[in-house]
Structure 1
């Protein structure tokens, strides 16, 4: 039985999008000592992150964790906390014993995959990755924002794979004993060993999920307009359905519709020119991350 010190969660998955964060949240949800709400990506913390819409209010956020009773941990899996300089401090102020899982992936793959994820959800309106890449400075200045984008960093493809300063910020604020870093490549090639190391960090017994399948693969919508509507419904709809149905029911219905409207689909192959450009763009930051963590990441560049 845990000693209740806060109503806020005390375990956080942060990291690059498309780096296995959804899969890891799914795996951890099977552990009896971790409470995992149905919703992922709250992005409640991180006051310095630019939001184009209100993502979640305090009362709504805490309500997701009301069922947390006996479990040692309650999990908030919000990858974009990684890119917030203020999030670690804000989290520790509310949850002093919090631990953090940082998940990372080859930057060029993250940038390209995030573009197609944003296209799938309606948060990106450019039909070519290269054009969306070029618009980053415009978007930082508040121009050419996709109408359905909800968070600035979801369209910052040039920055989204530059991890070193953000990882260093977490290590400096939280301390190395509170931060566990996982690389997507390790999770994919050695899932059991990688997961066991995480459980050891969390001081939990070895309860393994039935399978280590990768969640949230590349996909496309059968009816794109339906996906965009479900991903970003009008506020009035949330207010009305919130009166009628409990949040768990609403979320299950939302997930069911999304699953039925989604099929797996490989991303188009990136052009050789763009691939070389991405490799060069991220090379110096990868080397900075190598130095920070004292590891070899030469397979990334």
Structure 2
């Protein structure tokens, strides 16, 4: 970064018109980002963190600005284009999501697909925002892989059975389809350590977030250097996965349609998001158990990566 008077100028991947430079850089922007992993509690964490008076998170959870150019090359799967179009693809629209920041000192973003494109996205974040704090939540990769598959089943996008889906090559499809490959953690975590420094990266294990929620929130508040004594309502779990009761309703909630376009005209975005999550939850059956063949395959697939991750984190994940 460079300084012009008292104004910090961050290098950007796109040129910003000179007339707007001061406007952009006087505005508050994220100083922490939760980058995933997907299906590891990031939606629940979004709603918990928004309760803290010193934290600002945008009205929409996943802005996906820093992954846009990598996502754009992989949109051939069912529903990929719709998901991509929900992101913020210009610096102006991205930075506008922080126009309402007031007294909050911890300003954040939560975009789980930043984890998959670790090296590329990490560099982009560092170039445009500087050395922000990074938060990563890691779930047992066997369970995360299955939950990611069930997420697409819930949305009516995945039609293969799980074992078949694990062995199907999906070139040029969004990263969400790459169930097992996207659940290899070590090199991705290492990339963020190298880019931002280990002291600026907080790694949380999903089972600790589930079983010791308030303690983990206190750790996060301390990491973000804000009041650690705030208690949040953590009674609700968001964005659980499972087969839909109604595939038609799942498609209606997932895909672009007239009802959604009308809703955008009259219903504020935070309300729409909460209503959609509620309807998805009501339309979701309890998740079926994973078949043994797939579980044994995944245990072998992840064995070496788990050993390497334990070494990198200097702890036993217990996976």
SS in 2 for 1:83: coil
Q: Who is 1:268 aligned against?
A: 288
Q: Who is 2:246 aligned against?
A: 223
Q: Who is 1:118 aligned against?
A: 152
The 8 Å contact of residues 230 and 258 in structure 1, kept in 2 or not, is answered as: no
Q: Who is 1:149 aligned against?
A: none
Does 1:165 pair with 2:187? yes
Q: What are the equivalent positions in structure 2 for 1:229-244 lying under 5 Å apart?
A: 229-233=252-256, 244=265
Taking the aligned partners of 1:76 and 1:139, their CA distance within structure 2 comes to 29
Q: Who is 1:139 aligned against?
A: 170
- Once the two structures are superposed, residues 42-93 of structure 1 have per-residue CA deviations (whole angstroms, 9 ceiling, x without a partner) of 2211233444134322243333222112211222111110111211221122
The 8 Å contact of residues 244 and 285 in structure 2, kept in 1 or not, is answered as: no
- 2:46 is matched with which residue: 14, 25, 46? 25
Q: Which moved more, 1:259-268 or 1:279-288?
A: 259-268
Taking the aligned partners of 2:58 and 2:133, their CA distance within structure 1 comes to 17
SS in 2 for 1:101: strand
Does 1:91 pair with 2:116? no
Does 1:79 pair with 2:112? yes
Taking the aligned partners of 1:40 and 1:211, their CA distance within structure 2 comes to 17
Taking the aligned partners of 1:12 and 1:239, their CA distance within structure 2 comes to 29
Q: Who is 1:148 aligned against?
A: none
Root-mean-square deviation (CA), in Å? 2.5
SS in 2 for 1:192: helix
The 8 Å contact of residues 122 and 227 in structure 1, kept in 2 or not, is answered as: yes
- Once the two structures are superposed, residues 3-55 of structure 1 have per-residue CA deviations (whole angstroms, 9 ceiling, x without a partner) of 97555322211122111111211111101011122211222112334441343
Does 1:253 pair with 2:276? no
The two structures have a TM-score, normalised by structure 1, of 0.84
The 8 Å contact of residues 36 and 74 in structure 1, kept in 2 or not, is answered as: yes
Aligned length: 281
Taking the aligned partners of 1:62 and 1:238, their CA distance within structure 2 comes to 24
- Once the two structures are superposed, residues 138-176 of structure 1 have per-residue CA deviations (whole angstroms, 9 ceiling, x without a partner) of 312x4xx5xxxxxx1101012121000000000000111
Taking the aligned partners of 1:5 and 1:277, their CA distance within structure 2 comes to 52
Q: CA deviation at 1:181?
A: 0.5
CA shift in 2, pair 1:258/1:186, >3 Å: closer
Q: Who is 2:100 aligned against?
A: 67
CA shift in 2, pair 1:122/1:45, >3 Å: farther
Q: Who is 2:19 aligned against?
A: none
CA shift in 2, pair 1:5/1:171, >3 Å: farther
Taking the aligned partners of 1:121 and 1:76, their CA distance within structure 2 comes to 24
SS in 1 for 2:115: helix
Consecutive unaligned residues of structure 2, counting only runs of 5 or more, are 1-7, 9-24, 76-80
CA shift in 2, pair 1:51/1:68, >3 Å: farther
Does 1:208 pair with 2:231? yes
The 8 Å contact of residues 44 and 238 in structure 2, kept in 1 or not, is answered as: yes
